[in-house]
């Protein structure tokens, strides 16, 4: 794409680009409850045309269609990628010649029934008491999505059941979630697609021991499991009727729409979960039907920033406390999906996804915005603002939104000053994402939008966005190290096989911890 490199070599000023009203209009879009304005990005009409041509060359539309058609686009694992089927009310989503929707809807019916049973109190613990606290045990995609959604919606709708999340293998996480909990009235949802994840299994065992200390041996009634391997959950001692399935065509980081979303339904009611699905489906249909859709627009701009302007970070700054967990969720979504270094053919590629990070505004202004404004790197920002926020007055909403607008404008305009310490270079790009309000429906749209952005980015780079082999090596080495630290004689005899640095640290850490 020589032309894009030539275009990137120019010194383009965002403020100058903004005088082109046709270009500005092309960089704005409204879908459902989401309005996006990319006009403060550092690109002009010529760049935009070249990016649209790139989308054609890279066959973005065909790539999107392949996902919806259930093709095994996760070719390294031989899997289809059909999280979109989880939010489809009707249609034909085919895997291996079979429409998967009837099975999806059957599991949703079980989720609904289970939710109603638990919320109404028909579901009793072993001593006949109603459930009051729900603790989800899971990590990565089995935690971040439902946790983020519950945090977001809790600001809007009070939880019907006190729903908490435990992910870390550090037992402090579980201990904090158990503070004030009554074993008679606590239900654990063990969420693990594989049901082999060390952190989750250790936490589930600790949870079981905590229940058994008060309730006796038989505590199965206090567990629900979500897994693609129900037999493994059954082997853990969870009755099969309390195990909800998921499928290999749903990636962990795309799984909050499956039974992995059960904590969302338990916290707010199944109808709220259904609204989330409906919002996502609205975005799916937009992306499926419109060639130049909101996700393609976002992905092309992100591609320009990373591959042509050299941005090594992407920031997400929601001006909403309710969206506090969104950056952490997007981190897994974008980085586990597109943190790759080879293309489909296994050849090395020059660039892939920049680091994604962020924090709520206005807190982040007082933390790392100095770096954004005057640091040596350029990091594009997605500002997220809401027209209305639950529990906030008009004036309070205005304060938040004024801050977001001011930061975006300051990044773009900069400030000339005789004193270089007080000078702001400006010309720093950002996009503004405006949500009508935050509810399950609009949140579903927003999450699905980022999911599709990730898909399109992957198509542009020619990579498989849906495997995650990069997390395996560290897990395998941890399994070698644990027995050494536990002073297992056989493992200790192999200590010399470790490199000098690891051996040095193993000696220091061998005595760590208290019994």
| Residue 346 DSSP class | S
Nearest CA to 131 out of 106, 155, 160 is that of: 160
CB 154 within 8 A of CB 207: no
**C-beta closer to ligand F6P: residue 14 or 250:** 250
Closest approach of ligand F6P to the CB of residue 122, in Å: 29
Binding residues for ligand F6P, total number by CB under 6 A: 14
Measured between its terminal Cα atoms, the distance across the chain in Å is: 61
**C-beta closer to ligand F6P: residue 23 or 253:** 253
Closest approach of ligand F6P to the CB of residue 167, in Å: 9
Distance CA 346, CA 329 (A): 28
Among 108, 197, 306, 313, binds ligand F6P (CB under 6 A): 197
Beta bridge mates, 136: 165, 189
Closest approach of ligand F6P to the CB of residue 322, in Å: 23
Distance CA 368, CA 365 (A): 6
Among 115, 136, 192, 297, binds ligand F6P (CB under 6 A): 192
Residues 35-94 that bind ligand F6P (CB under 6 A): none
**C-beta closer to ligand F6P: residue 190 or 412:** 190
Residue 70, token pair as written in the block: 């259930």
**C-beta closer to ligand F6P: residue 39 or 468:** 468
Among 168, 194, 198, 493, binds ligand F6P (CB under 6 A): 194
Distance CA 389, CA 456 (A): 30
272-311: string of b/e by CB count within 10 Å (b at 16+)? bbbbbbebbbbbbbbbbeeeebbbbbbbbbbbbbbbbbeb
**C-beta closer to ligand F6P: residue 251 or 354:** 251
Closest approach of ligand F6P to the CB of residue 253, in Å: 6
What element of type H or E holds 475? helix 472-485
Active site residues: 336, 366, 475
Among 40, 83, 193, 222, binds ligand F6P (CB under 6 A): 193
CB 144 within 8 A of CB 255: no
Residues 309-368 that bind ligand F6P (CB under 6 A): 336
Residues 122-151 that bind ligand F6P (CB under 6 A): 139-142
Distance CA 191, CA 134 (A): 12
Q: Which stretch binds ligand F6P (CB under 6 A): 82-90, 193-201, 310-318, 387-395?
A: 193-201
Helical axes 294-303 vs 270-289, angle rounded to 10°:
70
**C-beta closer to ligand F6P: residue 186 or 468:** 468
Binding site for ligand F6P (CB under 6 A): 139-142, 192-194, 197, 200, 252-253, 336, 468, 471
């Amino acid at each position: 794409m020589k032309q894009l490199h030539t275009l990137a070599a120019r010194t383009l000023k965002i403020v100058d680009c903004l005088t082109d009203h046709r270009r500005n209009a092309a960089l704005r879009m409204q879908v459902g409850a989401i309005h996006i304005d990319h006009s403060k990005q550092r690109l002009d009409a010529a760049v935009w045309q070249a990016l649209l041509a790139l989308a054609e060359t890279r066959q973005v539309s065909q790539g999107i269609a392949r996902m919806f058609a259930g093709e095994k686009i996760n070719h390294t694992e031989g899997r289809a990628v059909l999280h979109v089927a989880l939010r489809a009310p009707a249609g034909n989503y085919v895997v291996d010649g079979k429409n998967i929707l009837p099975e999806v809807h059957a599991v949703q019916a079980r989720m609904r029934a289970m939710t109603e049973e638990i919320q109404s109190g028909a579901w009793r613990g072993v001593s006949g008491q109603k459930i009051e606290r729900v603790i989800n045990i899971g990590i990565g995609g089995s935690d971040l999505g439902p946790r983020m959604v519950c945090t977001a919606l809790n600001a809007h709708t009070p939880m019907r059941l006190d729903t908490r999340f435990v992910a870390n293998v550090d037992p402090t996480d579980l201990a904090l979630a158990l503070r004030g909990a009554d074993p008679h009235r606590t239900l654990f949802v063990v969420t693990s697609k594989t049901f082999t994840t060390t952190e989750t299994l250790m936490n589930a065992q600790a949870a079981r021991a905590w229940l058994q200390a008060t309730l006796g041996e038989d505590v199965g009634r206090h567990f629900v499991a979500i897994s693609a391997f129900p037999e493994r959950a059954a082997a853990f001692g969870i009755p099969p009727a309390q195990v909800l399935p998921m499928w290999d065509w749903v990636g962990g980081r795309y799984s909050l729409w499956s039974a992995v979303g059960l904590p969302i339904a338990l916290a707010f009611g199944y109808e709220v979960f259904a609204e989330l699905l409906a919002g996502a489906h609205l975005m799916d249909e937009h992306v499926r039907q419109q060639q130049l859709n909101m996700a393609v627009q976002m992905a092309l701009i992100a591609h320009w920033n990373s591959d042509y302007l050299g941005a090594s970070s992407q920031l997400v700054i929601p001006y909403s406390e309710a969206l506090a967990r969104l950056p952490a969720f997007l981190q897994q979504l974008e980085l586990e999906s597109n943190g790759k270094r080879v293309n489909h053919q296994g050849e090395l590629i020059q660039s892939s996804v920049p680091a994604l990070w962020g924090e709520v505004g206005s807190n982040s202004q007082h933390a790392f915005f100095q770096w954004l404004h005057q640091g040596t790197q350029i990091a594009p920002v997605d500002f997220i603002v809401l027209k209305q926020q639950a529990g906030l007055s008009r004036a309070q909403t205005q304060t938040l939104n004024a801050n977001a607008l001011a930061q975006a404008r300051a990044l773009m305009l900069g400030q000339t000053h005789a004193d270089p310490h007080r000078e702001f270079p400006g010309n720093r790009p950002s996009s503004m994402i405006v949500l009508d309000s935050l509810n399950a429906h609009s949140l579903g749209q927003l999450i699905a939008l980022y999911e599709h952005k990730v898909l399109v980015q992957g198509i542009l780079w020619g990579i498989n966005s849906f495997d995650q082999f990069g997390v395996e090596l560290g897990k395998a080495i941890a399994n070698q190290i644990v027995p050494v630290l536990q002073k297992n004689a056989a493992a200790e005899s192999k200590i010399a096989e470790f490199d000098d640095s690891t051996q040095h640290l193993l000696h220091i850490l061998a005595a760590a911890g208290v019994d």
